[in-house]
């Protein structure tokens, strides 16, 4: 994700079946806590 500057990626199992989608924001929030998004209104 970092190398390609992507914020979204798909995860596949060894047979090529789609397991799910990963969002960079969700991964970062798991590591560092809530991230303030400038585009989100509260």
Q: Give 9's strand partners.
A: 22
* Local structure of 40: helix, strand or coil: coil
Looking at residue 38, its pLDDT comes to: 73
pLDDT band with cut points at 50, 70 and 90 for residue 42: low
Q: Is the pTM of this model over 0.85?
A: no
Instruction: Report whether pLDDT(1) > 90.
Output: no
Q: How many domains does the chain have?
A: 1
Task: Please name the helix (run of DSSP H) or strand (run of DSSP E) that holds residue 20, with its range, or none.
Answer: strand 18-23
Helix (H/G/I), strand (E/B), else coil: 30:
helix
Establish if 10 belongs to a structural domain.
yes
Q: pLDDT tens across 5-37, in order?
A: 889 999 999 999 999 999 988 888 899 988 777
Residue 27 belongs to what domain range?
1-33
Residue 26 lies in a domain: yes
| Cα–chain center distance at 3 | 14
Tokens, residue 4: 């390609």
Whether 39 maps to a domain, the answer reads no
Which pLDDT score is estimated for 14? 97
């Amino acid at each position: 994700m970092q190398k390609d500057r992507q914020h979204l990626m798909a995860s596949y199992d060894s047979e090529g079946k789609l397991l799910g989608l990963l969002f960079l924001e969700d991964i970062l929030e798991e590591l560092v806590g809530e991230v303030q998004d400038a585009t989100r209104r509260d």
